[in-house]
Amino acid sequence: MRILGIETSCDETGVAIYDDEKGLLAHQLYSQVKLHADYGGVVPELASRDHVKKTIPLIKATLTEAGLTPKDLDGIAYTAGPGLAGALIVGASIGRSLAYAWNVPAVAIHHMEGHLLSPMLEEIQPPVPFISLLVTGGHTLLIEVKSMGEYVILGESIDDAVGEAFDKTANLMGFDYPGGSMLSKLAERGNSKRFTFPRPMTDRPSLDFSFSGLKTFTANTIAVNDKDEQTRADIARAFEDAVVDTLMIKCKLALKQRSMKRLVVAGGVGANRHLRVKLEQLTASIGGEVYYPRAEFCTDNGAMIAYAGMQRLKNGEHNDLEIEVFPRWPIDQLTAIKT
Ligand code: KG4
Ligand code: ZN
């Protein structure tokens, strides 16, 4: 069985083909980062228009890369939410229409389930159940994965998502959007002893997060200190330390509360090196394990949508001819995938 996956929920056009026997056959990604850089964030209308231009050529390129034709496909999966409505409609319309033309089933995929299942694209896959930390530009979620498709939200951000906090703080330090990974690079040269930033909401049993205060704390620190390169690096380091520590403390609490030892991390911020080191130390200290997708599958991609689509289509799910998207779609509304 071979599934074509299409991702267009935000500022990346991603297309991939997943085969249930051979694994990932091909994947292509086009990032709109340059298009939005001057605006300091994603401009929804520009994002939609660019997906219109890029999706079909990327599907062609992915088929060529895999050495396949549309006749070799058994289904199409597309991201139907959460995300930007216009951007989602592009992928959903193209995915749904091609499935009709090619006479194969189409299935609407939840973007965060794609991220959650992305570590399954790797050779060593985490066995369920596990705790999942999803850290992207739009969401921060701690989830108990009871079985495939059966998700319980243990905690989430009450304001900025982690990636958003990284990007806004990076912007304060003069980096273009999205500056999360640049801020992290700058932090590598910083002295972790110079500034200590708060670890928000870690003084209580709640598993929710709040990161907007940290951004303000950073802005205030920038305002009252010199602007030299070392000070910038020290502030970036203090910010990253505070975020990584906060995520680690909440993961530790979630694992303890749910009596689990297995942690899975996914989403763009999951590419952060310092976070990976910290979570490896945490799981090693409790005799557990942590799993990640490779860095390129932490950020948005078509492979995770093709993989999730494969699971849902095999489960007998598919959508009818109506083209529908869900810009807000809680992940705990999904149904279990029978194995
Ligand atoms: O998962 P993703 O591609 O997008 C959403 O679904 O939202 O995540 C993108 C986010 C951005 O905020 C980006 O700055 C952040 O992930 N990011 C990082 C790193 N690499 C990407 N944040 C911190 N450290 C990194 N190395
Ligand atoms: Zn994402």
Q: What is the pLDDT of residues 199-253, one digit of tens each?
A: 999 999 999 999 999 999 999 999 999 999 999 999 999 999 999 999 999 999 9
- pLDDT of 339 > 80? The answer is no
To the nearest 10 degrees (0 to 180), the angle between helices 229-257 and 273-285 is 30
Overall pTM surpassing 0.75 (yes/no): yes
Residue to probe by mutation, ligand 1, list 299, 300, 301, most atoms within 8 Å of CB? 299
| Cα→Cα distances 249→147, 160, 215, 284, Å | 24, 18, 19, 14
Please give the distance, rounded to the nearest whole angstrom, from the Cα atom of residue 136 to the centre of ligand 2. 6
Q: What integer pLDDT is reported at residue 132 of this predicted model?
A: 98
- Atom 13 of ligand 1, nearest CA residue: 180
- Which of ligand 1's atoms lies nearest the C-alpha of 161? 12
Q: Within 10 Å of residue 62's Cβ, how many Cβ atoms?
A: 24
Q: What integer pLDDT is reported at residue 20 of this predicted model?
A: 97
Digit-coded pLDDT (tens) for 300-310: 999 999 999 99
Q: What integer pLDDT is reported at residue 170 of this predicted model?
A: 96
Strands 12-19 and 106-110: unpaired
Q: What integer pLDDT is reported at residue 124 of this predicted model?
A: 95
Q: According to the annotation, is 167 in a ligand binding site? A: yes
- pLDDT of 114 > 80? The answer is yes
- Is the distance from CB of 275 to CB of 92 less than 8 angstroms? no
pLDDT, mean over the chain: 97
Please give the distance, rounded to the nearest whole angstrom, from the Cα atom of residue 180 to the centre of ligand 1. 6
Residue 42: nearest ligand to its CA? Answer: 1
Please give the average per-residue pLDDT across 138-162, as a whole number: 97
What confidence category does residue 285 fall into, taking pLDDT thresholds of 50, 70 and 90?
Answer: very high
Residue to probe by mutation, ligand 1, list 166, 276, 329, most atoms within 8 Å of CB? 166
Q: What integer pLDDT is reported at residue 233 of this predicted model?
A: 98
Residue to probe by mutation, ligand 1, list 109, 182, 269, most atoms within 8 Å of CB? 269
Buried b (16+ CB within 10 A) or exposed e, 135-172: bbbbbbbbbbbeebbebeebbbbebbbbbbbbbbbbbb
Domains of the chain: 2-117+297-333 (3.30.420.40), 128-292 (3.30.420.40)
Q: Which amino acid is at 57?
A: P
Q: Which amino acid is at 47?
A: A
- pLDDT of 325 > 80? The answer is yes
Dist. CA 272–CA 236, nearest whole Å: 13
What confidence category does residue 84 fall into, taking pLDDT thresholds of 50, 70 and 90?
Answer: very high
- pLDDT of 186 > 90? The answer is yes
Residue 31: nearest ligand to its CA? Answer: 1
Q: Is the CB of 155 under 6 A from ligand 1?
A: no
Please give the distance, rounded to the nearest whole angstrom, from the Cα atom of residue 228 to the centre of ligand 2. 34
> Coil, helix or strand for 136?
coil
Q: What integer pLDDT is reported at residue 159 of this predicted model?
A: 97
Dist. CA 92–CA 72, nearest whole Å: 21
DSSP for 44-60 reads: HHHHHHHHHHHHHHHHH
Write out the two tokens for 46.
Answer: 């520009």
Q: What integer pLDDT is reported at residue 189 of this predicted model?
A: 98
Q: Is the CB of 99 under 6 A from ligand 1?
A: no
Sign of the alpha-carbon dihedral angle for 268, 273, 275, 281: positive
Dist. CA 187–CA 236, nearest whole Å: 5
Write out the two tokens for 233.
Answer: 């690096």
CB-based contacts of 50: which residues, under 8 Å, 6+ apart? 13, 32, 35
- Which of ligand 1's atoms lies nearest the C-alpha of 115? 1
- Which of ligand 1's atoms lies nearest the C-alpha of 139? 7
